[in-house]
Each structure stands twice: as structure tokens, then as C-alpha cells.
Amino acid sequence: MEENEKRDQRGVEVNGQWCEDKEVVKSTVEEFFKVRFVGESEPLVRLDNVRFNTISKEDNEALIGASSKEEVKKAVWSCDSSKSHGLDGFNFSFIKFCWDCLKEDVVSAINDFMVNGRWSRGTNTSFICLIPKNDNSQRLSDYRLISLVGCEYKIVSKILSIRLKKVISKVINIR
């Protein structure tokens, strides 16, 4: 099969052979990336006798505590409205437009995570997307793996990054 014909077909090169069988492609992709995300069994560096700077109990509680409505709104408004939608089909433009109706539920969902350290059932879902690294991607190594997550993850990430900026200098010496 010629290179141009391969690009027009749905499939991937598996062990030097072009494959379009959905189940074979699916299992091959899963195995290919599973191998790349397995951690080392032994730590590469041991830090047994290293003393690290720490933050106070108050700073720690400020990092992990519940969020105010204002803090959640600030995080939402700092996100780009036009970026791709989440798993639920909604992007930040929708959330901002409907903020008066949604704010109680959004704040409640964010605080459920911030206080309990886990998402409600079903919220912890994401899609994996393969992005081609070049124009003629045929092998799995020609793709970059990304995870598409919903707005809730992005809001929590924004809140945590804003909070972390306030205490990071206490644990990392910046010169």
C-alpha cells in the first residue's frame, strides 16, 4: 500500500504491517502506551538523609481547604472561554454565561474535591487523544498522548496553582 493511501485509511502500523482491525488497533495502542507509563520499581535517587524545608500547618490548611465562591469564580474567569469543551460538552464560555445559575453547583463540586480529596463518582473520567507528531503518522511512536479532562479539573488546577504561589518560596529557595 502506498504512503498516501495509508494516510487516507483508518489504522496504524503494527509490527511493520498496516492494520485497520479496530480491536487489534485498540489493544495495540493500549499496550504501547501502558509500557511507557509504568514507573520504576526502585527509586533512582534515595533522599533518606536530606532535610527539606516545610510549610506551616496554617499554610498547609490554606492549600487544601475549601474554596470561597470568589476564589472559584476567579479561577473560572482566568480560564480561556473558547478552549475545547470538556467531556460533558460544555466549555468555560457556557459556565461564565450561566454563572448565576451554576455557581452554587460548581462551588459545591469543587469544594467536595478540595475537602475530601476525591471526585464524586463519574467525575473522574477522561478521554485519551492521540495527536500526530508529523504529517505522515503511521506508527504509535508518531503520536503524542494527551488526556482530555473536564472543566472541574481545570478549575481545581487554577485554584491550587494560585494557592501554591503564596507558599512556594517557603519550600524552594529562589535566588
Using DSSP, how many helices (H) and how many strands (E) does the chain show?
7, 4
pTM of the complete model beyond 0.75: no
Q: What is the DSSP string of 67-114?
A: PPHHHHHHHHHTS-TTSPP-TTS--HHHHHHTHHHHHHHHHHHHHHHH
Continuous segment of H or E residues that includes residue 60: helix 57-64
How confident is the model over 123-175, as pLDDT tens digits? 666 667 777 888 888 888 888 776 656 788 889 999 999 999 999 988 887 66
- The pLDDT, as a whole number, for residue 1 is 47
Residue 70: pLDDT above 70? yes
What residue ranges do the domains of the chain occupy? Answer: 52-170
pLDDT for position 148? 59
pLDDT 10s digits, 19-32: 888 888 888 888 88
User: In this predicted structure, what is the pLDDT of residue 3?
Assistant: 52
